[in-house]
Amino acid sequence: MKNLLSISHLTKEELSSLLNLTKKLKYENSIGRKHHLLKGKTLGMIFSKSSTRTRVSFETGMYQLGGHSLFLSADDIQLGRGESISDTAKVLSRYLDGIIIRTFSQDDVVELADSGNIPVINALTDLLHPCQVLADLFTVKETFHKLEGLKVAYIGDGNNIANSLLYGCSKSGVNLSVATPAGYECNPEIVKQAEETAKENHCQINISNHPQSAVKDADVIYTDTWTSMGMEEEKEKRIRDFDGFQVNSQLMSHAKSHAIFLHCLPAYRGYEVTEDVIDGPQSKVFDQAENRLHMQKAILVKLLGGK
């Protein structure tokens, strides 16, 4: 691992190693074991999009690992005033040991990594959200003690979460069914890549516009907000278009009795999910949110600590 731009770039061995290290770091945190794996390291955090979980989990993670983090909003650095990504990457490489970036364009993240000589972590783009889905895979494995052979059903918008689930599930042997409204499907090139990877790992990718068939016999049901950041003007249209795609108790009844519910948050109760599901006994959303901290610590150790 030199960067984390997409789960598609990870080998199966690297993915497995991240999951194992996350388990170790989470356990050590639970018993109060302190370590300084990143003592003397500094992480720059570029945010063109706001966040609760991403900022707090990365800042806390660096602190727990003995390192230091710098929050850099688009208004605070020259990148937001027209300085090129290439120049920014070269300058920051002289000051920092690593960069996370949460922004709009995946191409900008790739250019940042290509232009600098320090690790770059994709903390979200409009196309992908690898840190979230790696934490999701850890949450699933933590619950069921395995990944291969399980079925995940994703219901809703074919957004960055769905795209990263395609990469993550196909690489880890998880069967994935994605159900979106017509016109809101996942990136077709990513679907094609995931289908090819799934064949290699003996699992299946199913894409449809039918939520009930997608969740049939699922071990995990996952949804996300219908209106992502930057799409607020589409909210009313999306509410109409996503009618029938709400995760509620009726939809959950088609999954396995032990199925868990996941949501990357923030959630809008009464829209993509009902209150009784997200706050019910099958919900793992707050374990999932906590696991962002532990997975991202593992990513930071791998990239900045050379472990």
Rounded Cα distance, 208 and 276, in Å: 26
pLDDT at 307: 63
132 catalytic residue (yes or no): yes
264 catalytic residue (yes or no): yes
pLDDT at 230: 73
Contacts 24+ apart (CB under 8 A), 263-270: 263/222, 263/223, 263/224, 263/288, 264/129, 264/132, 264/136, 264/161, 264/224, 264/288, 265/52, 265/53, 265/289, 266/52, 266/225, 267/225, 268/225, 268/226
- Contact predicate 61/296, CB 8 Å: yes
- Return the CATH fold of 7-129+292-304: Rossmann fold (3.40.50)
Which residues fall within 8 angstroms of residue 63, CB to CB, at 6 or more apart?
Answer: 69
Q: What is the pLDDT of residues 35-73, one digit of tens each?
A: 899 999 999 999 999 899 999 999 999 999 999 999 998
- Contact predicate 47/204, CB 8 Å: no
Confidence of residue 296 (pLDDT cuts 50, 70, 90): very high
Q: Over the chain, what is the mean pLDDT?
A: 96
Residue 36, both tokens: 């300084």
Taking 90 as the threshold, does the pLDDT of residue 109 lie above it?
yes
Residue of 131, 169, 203, 264 with catalytic role:
264
- Sequence ranges of the domains in the chain: 7-129+292-304, 132-288
Residue of 53, 129, 238, 294 with catalytic role:
129
CB atoms within 10 A of CB 134: 26
pLDDT at 115: 97
Nearest to 242 by CA among 159, 298, 182: 182
pLDDT at 294: 98
Confidence of residue 100 (pLDDT cuts 50, 70, 90): very high
Residue of 53, 238, 292, 294 with catalytic role:
292
Residue 75, both tokens: 């208004």
102 catalytic residue (yes or no): yes
- Return the CATH fold of 132-288: Rossmann fold (3.40.50)
Rounded Cα distance, 146 and 301, in Å: 23
Residue of 53, 64, 97, 102 with catalytic role:
102
Q: What is the pTM of this model?
A: 0.96
pLDDT at 18: 98
254 catalytic residue (yes or no): no
Taking 80 as the threshold, does the pLDDT of residue 74 lie above it?
no
State residue 65 phi and psi, 5-degree precision.
Answer: -90, 0
Higher local confidence (pLDDT), 299 or 231: 299
Lowest mean pLDDT among 46-55, 94-103, 182-191, 194-203: 46-55
Residue of 53, 64, 131, 132 with catalytic role:
132
Nearest to 249 by CA among 226, 279, 227: 279
Q: What is the pLDDT of residues 146-166, one digit of tens each?
A: 999 999 999 999 999 999 999
Q: What is the pLDDT of residues 196-252, one digit of tens each?
A: 999 999 999 999 999 999 999 999 999 999 988 777 888 999 999 999 999 999 999
Rounded average pLDDT over 178-183: 98
Sheet architecture: strand order including 260-263: 205-208, 175-179, 151-155, 220-223, 260-263
Q: For tokens 């009618």, what's the residue?
A: 243
Give the pairing type, strands 175-179 and 205-208.
Answer: parallel
Residue of 157, 186, 224, 238 with catalytic role:
224
pLDDT at 90: 96
Higher local confidence (pLDDT), 46 or 306: 46
Q: What is the pLDDT of residues 111-123, one digit of tens each?
A: 999 999 999 999 9
